[in-house]
Amino acid sequence: MPARPSPSGRARAPRGFCLWLTGLSGAGKSTIAHALIAHLTRRGRVVTLLDGDVVRTHLSKGLGFSRDDRDTNVRRIAFVAGEVVRHQGIAICAVVSPYEATREECRRIVGAERFVLVYVDAPLAICEQRDPKGMYARARRGEIPHFTGIDDPYEPPTAPDLVLTTTGGTPDAHARTTLRHLERRGLLPRVARRSSPVSRTAAERRRRASRATGDR
């Protein structure tokens, strides 16, 4: 992405930041992450996606679902995200990350000003209905011990930067809500939004009516 000129005339480098999507398995974290990547790519940004399940099969291969193993996996993801951010990149982390204290540790690892905690909120019953990877079914059968939401707790964030409730809305709508939040935080430059043909027609009618009234 080309550097944007600042008011002083100097080129302003794009800001790096980390979007940390937390929530139960099946809440919609990865789906929203991919929608965000599509939007950010169109804006010319390069995005690194750190998906908790994918990281487990590579960087954290061999870890289980105990609290210590979960925390180790989450800290590794935060370390990688921090390196991406320090090089002015964008890291999107889609991770269950069930424990409040560990999420706050991740905020410190990345840097609080560049860390955006997004709570992807969906009830456990809905997540179990979705269960795209069959993980809840396996956990219910006792095949996966310490599975979040079944026999291990999920601690909802007490002060998330943004909440996306995925029982309503589309992934694209949630992605757009997140982009607007990033713009308000100053982490993304604002993009001029085109008005729809309907709104342009309505505005033109109002202008004509105003001119007509003024001619009387």
Handedness of CA 193, 194, 197, 203 (dihedral sign): positive
Asked if 119 and 22 count as a contact pair (C-beta separation under 8 A), the reply is yes
Give counts: helices (H), strands (E), the chain.
8, 7
Query: Is the CA virtual torsion 69, 70, 71, 74 positive or negative?
Result: positive
Catalytic residue among 97, 195, 196, 210: 97
Residue 30 annotated to the active site: no
First to last CA, the chain: 53
- Sign of the Cα torsion 61, 143, 96, 32 reads positive
Positions marked active-site:
97
